[in-house]
Amino acid sequence: MTASDGGGPGVDLHLELSAAGGRRAALVAALREAVRGGRLAPGTRLPPYRSLAADLGVARNTVADAYAELVAEGWLTSRQGSGTRVAERVAAPAPRSVRPTAPPPLPHDLVQGKPDPAAFPRTAWATAARRALAAAPHEAFGIGDPHGRTELRHALAEYLARVRGVRTAPDRIVVCSGAAHALRLLARVLGPADPWAVEAYGLPFHRGLLAEAGITTLPVAVDGDGARVADIPRPARAVLLTPAHQFPTGGPLHPERRAGALEWARDSGGLVIEDDYDGEFRYDRRPVGAVQGLDPERTVLVGSVSKSLSPALRIGWMCLPSALVGPVVAAKGEREPHSSATDQLTLADLLSSGAYDRHVRRMRRRYRLRRDRLTALLAERAPAVRVTGIAAGLHAVLELPPGTERAVLAATARRGVAVEGLDLYRHPDAPHPGGGAGDGLVVGYATPPERLYEPALEALCDGLDEVLGV
């Protein structure tokens, strides 16, 4: 039977009363087991006698007597004006582990891709949420539109045009739960018949989700000027690029190659998919505009707030060619199951009020200083190690001497540094650079708390010194 508080100050309570024995004994046994097993935590207030008796179909005195017996045994406490509660000294036994415990995380987190979680603009977000909820129409709390909230799509169209040079309209923006969700939807729309070209260095996760959709990926070599778009294989239906800041090697796509990618798309009937994962974070100059602005009908721009705000928000977007809007919305489904409508409304307010711009500028300064501290310490402690790519984003690549990547990873791990090697991101079908060239570390400098950042960099340099003797 389920016992509820009947509108009183207790709690909803599910109890199974045994058919054997009297009702009082069965109630005592059920309550004792609920406390012993941890379903009723210490301090939990139980329903009043009358409420529990009515829900269980027993006499009020039966409940009173059961409570009194458990109070006498020490399972419960009863005080005037406070009701009957689970005794504080009664603690549920710790659950036994059925699997070996995972090793503790390394103390110095320099893994790429994660913004500083402590920097989330809580006050600005809370203020925007209050305004957004007060202004939201009633229909915002019903079944979601698979296009995404109109307020957010209008705010994104204005913001992306102003900051990233994007040419789009609200009805050509589809809100999704992040870049991965966007790629899954595009993979579903384009289908598995034709391969996609991808940069020879990129996220294994993205290649994996395309493989799950039955899509073959063909690597395109990258260098200091980004992807070599002249080498895009002709059978490819789409090419996935990171033009603003090649991930992870760090070079921007050269202007001639930007034009070349679009020329390939026009000649082949293909599609350029632009992953604008950290396009707002350029430190050496103003951010370069998106490729999408050069040809909106041949480019899909994919963006999210995973780097600028938090990956926990699960909000991303696609700026689509007109012909793809309907198919993408159809692939997404009639209901919006992914991004919270209230979070979308809050982000729309954050964008429209200018609070998002202020936060990005603040984080740009913070991350630039962190990158500067990394490069300065390396120049002092490991001058033979070169930081490649442009000053941008939340990570940097440290170029290592050929054949040293694995040894450096082992040495830094012994010093408690979590960091990744460049080879992790190489496409499995891309040729490995000859002689072990291309070894490197991908260092994320955004995540560590400020007090731990310097120790993390020192430990990293200690690991480099052990292997390289610098």
What is the C-alpha separation between 201 and 427, in angstroms, rounded?
6
- At residue 24, what are phi and psi to the nearest 5 degrees? -65, -45
Nearest CA to 420 out of 278, 247, 277 is that of 247
CATH topology of domain 363-468: Aspartate Aminotransferase, domain 1 (3.90.1150)
Strand pairing report for 222-223 and 238-241: unpaired
Token output for 271:
């599609």
Q: The tokens 């540094």 sit on which residue? A: 417
* Nearest CA-CA partner of 240 in 157, 325, 308, 182: 182
Q: pLDDT per residue over 407-428, tens digit each?
A: 999 999 999 999 999 999 999 9
pLDDT at position 17, please? Answer: 84
CATH topology of 120-357 equal to that of 363-468?
no
Confidence of residue 111 (pLDDT cuts 50, 70, 90): very high
> What is residue 452's three-state secondary structure?
helix
Can you read off the two tokens belonging to residue 353?
A: 């009020």
* CA distance linking residue 370 with residue 454, whole number of Å: 10
Distances 226 to 250, 261, 294, 400, 431 between C-alpha atoms, Å: 8, 11, 18, 20, 17
Helix (H, G, I), strand (E, B) or coil at 158: helix
Enter the tokens of residue 333.
């489904």
Of 198, 179, 277, 271, the closest CA to residue 241 belongs to 198
pLDDT, averaged across the chain: 91
CATH class of 120-357: alpha beta
Report, as an integer, the average pLDDT of 112-118. Answer: 93
Tens digits of residue pLDDT in 300-345: 999 999 999 999 999 999 999 999 999 999 999 876 567 899 999 9
Residue 356 has pLDDT above 90, yes or no: yes
* Cα–Cα nearest to 429, from 139, 124, 199: 199
Average pLDDT over residues 147-168: 97
The one-letter amino acid code at 1 reads M
Q: Provide mean pLDDT across the span 149-178.
A: 97
Please report the pLDDT score of residue 23 as a whole number: 87
Lookup: tokens for 149: 């909230």
Please write the tens of the pLDDT for every residue from 216-229.
Answer: 999 999 999 999 99
Overall average pLDDT of the 341-350 stretch: 97
Burial class (CB in 10 A: 0-12, 13-18, 19+), 191: exposed
User: What is the 8-class DSSP label of residue 307?
Assistant: T
* pLDDT top residue among 179 and 5: 179
Cα torsion 355, 356, 359, 360: sign: negative
Please check the confidence at residue 406 and state whether its pLDDT lies above 80: yes
Q: Report H helices in 195-239.
A: 204-212
Distance CA 397, CA 164 (A): 25
What is the arrangement of strands in the sheet containing 386-388, beginning at the earlier edge strand? 386-388, 395-399, 440-444, 420-421
Q: What is the pLDDT of residue 90?
A: 46
% pLDDT > 70, the chain: 92
Q: What is the pLDDT, as a whole number, of residue 333?
A: 86
Lowest mean pLDDT among 71-75, 94-98, 170-174, 291-295: 94-98
Rounded to whole angstroms, how far apart are CA atoms 313 and 177?
8
For the four alpha carbons of 282, 453, 449 and 277, in that order, the dihedral sign comes to: positive
Exposed, middle or buried, 243 (CB in 10 Å: 0-12/13-18/19+)?
Answer: buried
- Please write the tens of the pLDDT for every residue from 12-68: 788 888 766 788 998 999 999 889 888 888 989 999 988 888 888 889 999 999 999
Handedness of CA 113, 116, 117, 123 (dihedral sign): negative
pLDDT range class, residue 97, cuts 50, 70, 90: low
* β-strand partners of 223: 226
143: confidence class by pLDDT, cuts 50, 70, 90: confident
Angle, alpha carbons 372-397-283 (nearest 5°): 40
Q: Which helix (H) or strand (E) holds 380?
A: helix 355-381
Q: Is the whole model's pTM more than 0.75, yes or no? A: yes
Strands 299-304 and 316-319: antiparallel
Please identify which residue in the block is written with the tokens 């072990």: 436
**How far is Cα 132 from Cα 135, in angstroms, rounded to an integer?**
5
Which two three-digit tokens encode residue 463? 């690991």
Residue pLDDT, tens place only, 184-239: 999 999 999 999 999 999 999 999 999 999 999 999 999 999 999 999 998 999 99
362 pairs with which residues across the strands? none
Which of 106, 115, 116, 108 lies closest to 460 in space, CA to CA? 108
How many residues can be counted in the chain?
470
Distance CA 4, CA 55 (A): 7
pLDDT at 102: 63
Tell me the domain boundaries of the chain: 2-86, 120-357, 363-468
CATH T-level assignment (fold) for domain 2-86: Arc Repressor Mutant, subunit A (1.10.10)
How do residues 239-298 score in pLDDT, each as one tens digit?
999 999 999 999 999 999 999 999 999 999 999 999 999 999 999 888 889 999 999 999
Helix extents (H) in 382-440: 405-414
For residue 367, the model assigns a pLDDT of 96
- Taken in order 169, 174, 178, 179, the sign of the CA dihedral is negative
